Amino acid sequence: MRVAVVWNHDNSGVINRFGKPRTEFDDRETVESVMAALQEGGHETLLCEGDKGLLTRLERFMPPDAQAHPSGIVFNMAYGIQGECHSSHVPAMLEMAGVPYTGSSPLGHGLALDKVITKRLIRDGGVPTPNFRVMRHGTESADDLRFPVVVKPRHESNSLGLQLVHEPAQLRQAVEVIVTQYAQDALVEEYIEGREICVALLGNGELEVLPLVEQDFGDRETRLMTWEAKNIAVAAPQKICPAQIGSNLATILRNISVAAFRACQCRDYARVDLRIDRCGQTFVLEINSMPGLSTTSSYGLAATTTGHSFSSLVNRILDIAHTRYFGIGIP
């Protein structure tokens, strides 16, 4: 089968430099590993930039058949180049062009990328999440919040801009940093002291919940998944998989993760990040609609623990997407 892997690496393929640029781009090593995995699965592959020339390249690589039906599929790894809701840009192009692809729809990515909407959706669905406020100035009332609080940009990913604020007097400056550096509202939520768990989900109808992963902060003072903790090896906490959690609590974590996946209309695969406080109460922090798949990532570790090789995971995601579109797996 023809499979185009779409990513964002070269940010020059736009008409205008207009709108907020993305500051991070995709990991070439992981993208190349995905290409190799798909080739191992017997597929013909093409690596494409998710930019203004994407549809022309796709039409050449996977022209429609005589009935104007798709002759291939996209493995989407594109996080966008610039503007709002950047993860939804390539899926929206593919929807318009009638090209099937892996992962969430433009709506699913948009909901997951907006942390405030995510929290409102899951809270309305009965899923616990830390109390929060949306702030633009830092002078808004925080009387209903318990300090310390976590302050982060409303629309960013990868823990960009995340800050831990211990006192109300520090809140205004923290919010101003977010508004100034990221040109968006700040999400201010209560910090949950406790264990941090990642739940990897795979599928659509009957979701497969992969083994739970715990971020082990050890005795470090800052027990948060900051940008440094996610991107600098020496700062990264150890990952424990499967997490040592009692069966009843593990069932709760799985159930609320599935509920969050459904509430945010995710598809094919996603990762939910949660906290367990000292009383054993669970809280969903956020959901990642396009989690990293590398073997060192939380999602990759969960997949490896359940028996997947990197190649089998990638090809399983492709098969799940194919089934969603066509009702059957890849022949």
* CATH number of the domain to which 208 belongs: 3.30.470.20
DSSP string, 289-331: SS---STTSHHHHHHHHTT--HHHHHHHHHHHHHHHHHSS---
Domain membership flag for residue 173: yes
CB 271 within 8 A of CB 230: no
Same domain, 176 and 76: no
What residues does 306 pair with on adjacent strands?
Answer: none
Domain count, the chain: 3
Same domain, 77 and 184: no
Q: What is the pTM of this model?
A: 0.93
DSSP 160: T
pLDDT at 157: 78
Same domain, 182 and 286: no
Same domain, 29 and 70: yes
Tokens found for residue 142: 């925080």
Q: Is the pLDDT of residue 221 over 80?
A: no
Tokens found for residue 22: 């993305």
Same domain, 181 and 279: no
Taking residues 228-237, report their average pLDDT: 64
Tokens found for residue 72: 């291939």
pLDDT at 99: 97
pLDDT at 89: 97
Angle CA 189–193–197, to nearest 5: 90
Q: State the average pLDDT for the chain.
A: 92
CATH number of the domain where residue 161 is located: 3.30.1490.20
Domain membership flag for residue 97: yes
Domain membership flag for residue 312: no
The beta strands (E) that lie in 175-267 are given as 186-190, 194-203, 208-209, 213-216, 238-240
Q: In what order do the strands lie in the sheet with 44-49?
A: 44-49, 2-7, 72-76
Same domain, 244 and 299: yes
Q: Is the pLDDT of residue 167 over 70?
A: yes
Q: Is the pLDDT of residue 253 over 90?
A: yes
pLDDT (tens digit, 9 = 90+) per residue, 37-82? 999 999 999 999 999 999 999 999 999 888 878 899 999 999 999 9
pLDDT at 160: 79
Tokens found for residue 70: 């798709």
CATH number of the domain where residue 65 is located: 3.40.50
**Percent of the chain having pLDDT more than 90?**
78
pLDDT (tens digit, 9 = 90+) per residue, 180-210? 998 999 999 999 999 999 999 999 999 999 9
Domain boundary residue among 140, 160, 190?
A: 190
**Percent of the chain having pLDDT more than 70?**
95
Same domain, 255 and 167: no
Domain membership flag for residue 327: no
Same domain, 256 and 152: no
Same domain, 186 and 263: no
Same domain, 61 and 142: no
Domain membership flag for residue 54: yes
Q: 246 lies in which domain range?
A: 112-129+193-307
pLDDT at 195: 94
Same domain, 75 and 201: no
Domain membership flag for residue 92: yes
Same domain, 206 and 73: no
Domain membership flag for residue 328: no
Domain membership flag for residue 154: yes
Q: Is the pLDDT of residue 137 over 60?
A: yes
